[in-house]
Structure 1
Amino acid sequence: MKLEVMPTKKELEQHAEIIPEIKPASILAMLSIMQAYEKIKSSIQDVLEKKYQLSEGKLRIMIILHQHPEGTAPSFLARHAGVTKATISVMLRRMIRDHLINSIHDISDGRSKKITLTPQGRQLMDTILPEHYLRISKVMENLTEEEQNELIRLLTKIADI
């Protein structure tokens, strides 16, 4: 979402005359957050897609698996990646095809599966993660640590997490 043209405060104030609950400053703040998010996301995601052919969703799954080297259930991955079980099934099939992950039977419960990174997937993560975290650090370098903590606090408050 590229917001080339944002509504002006005056335009929003005109809408607020019709619906008094409209808060122009709130709308401008939220649109600014969304615009910043899109710019940041594309600057980080473009590298992952162009250099590694890795989508944001695949990266999220691989980070979870990297944090759980013993493997984890597809339902755990779906829940922590914020996707449905149907979506995770499709993603996992593609990642198995690409030799990034393995699906093995869980020894403790023969009916269920565990998903693990392949050696190739683990090596990819060992390469990508430091670079990925460096890109994120560079995005945030204009803010002091105190400002970053305040930003986290404010975004958490907005999202009511």
Structure 2
Amino acid sequence: MARDRAGAARAQWEAEIPGLELLPMEVLGRLAEATHLARSTFLLPVFTEFGLKPGEFDVLMTLRRSGAPYALTPTELYNTTMITSGGMTARLDRLEKAGLIVRNPHETDRRAVQIALTPKGKELIDRMLPVHLAAQRKAVTGLDEAEQRALADLLKKLIAGLPPK
């Protein structure tokens, strides 16, 4: 089992300054550690295997799940991915150079562009998706299905209670 860094930090703080309200720190610390461990152990190897960086994968997956014609504006991509707007242009440049996306003129706004998945990009994501889902399943095997659903519901509630970015 992974080391419980949040629990260790809590014990240290309790010894140093008894009486602090540490539960929120413990919850967020464990959430951050779980995300880090799942990502580094299970997900990053999949991205590497397919020659993508995590943000590039997120862009391609967002385009793929948007449905045909698999095209979104940069703003739509930014709003539906977990990527900062500052990093979006560089990612799009790399994906375009690899032939996985194209920038097309927007159908109704001459000033805008649409980012579209190429057939090569769609084929890559369609091959990658089952491998990615299998890695995610491995990452949560410590929880049974009911626990996974409960955690997903609790995280949804936590996110809903946070201010929008």
User: TM-score, normalization: structure 1?
Assistant: 0.82
Matched, 1:16 2:54: no
2:140 aligns with 140
Root-mean-square deviation (Å): 2.5
Q: AA paired with 1:97?
A: K
Aligned to 2:157: 157
Larger Rg: 1
State how far apart, in whole Å, the 2-side matches of 1:9 and 1:115 are.
Answer: 46
1:43 Cα offset (Å): 1.9
Match of 1:37 in 2: 35
Distance verdict in 2 for CA 1:139–1:10, change over 3 Å: closer
Could you give the per-residue CA deviations for residues 64-109 of structure 1, whole angstroms, max 9, x where no partner exists?
Answer: 1102232110111112123344321221111101111011112222
Of the structure 1 ranges 151-160 and 70-79, higher mean CA displacement relative to structure 2 is found in 151-160
Q: Is the 8 A contact 2:102 2:115 kept in 1?
A: yes
SS in 1 for 2:95: helix
> What amino acid is aligned across from residue 67 of structure 1 in structure 2?
R
Q: Structure 2 stretches of 5 or more lacking a match?
A: none
Percent sequence identity over aligned pairs: 22
What amino acid maps onto 1:50 in structure 2? T
- Distance, in Å, in 2 between the alignment partners of 1:86 and 1:9 is 35
* 1:120-149 Cα shifts (integer Å, max 9, x gaps): 101100100111112112222342222111
2:103–2:116 CA contact under 8 A, matched in 1: yes
Moved over 6 A (4+): none
Distance in 2 (CA, whole Å) between partners of 1:82 and 1:29 is 21
Q: 1:45 touches 1:55 (CA, 8 Å); kept in 2?
A: no
Equivalents in 1 of 2:28, 2:85: separation in Å?
31
Question: Once the two structures are superposed, what CA deviation does each residue of 1:1-52 show, in whole Å capped at 9, x if it has no partner?
Answer: x9786635442213433xx4x3244433433332222110112332233211
- Count of aligned pairs between the two proteins: 157
Given the superposition, is the C-alpha separation of residues 108 and 9 from structure 1 closer, same or farther in structure 2, using an over 3 Å criterion? closer
Indicate if the aligned counterparts of 1:48 and 1:55 stay in contact, CA closer than 8 A: no
C-alpha spacing 1:128/1:141, structure 2 compared with 1 (3 Å): same
> Which stretches in structure 1 are left out of the alignment for 5+ residues?
none
> Structure 1 pair 89/9, CA: closer, same or farther in 2 (3 Å)?
closer
> 2:83 & 2:11 partners in 1: Cα distance?
39
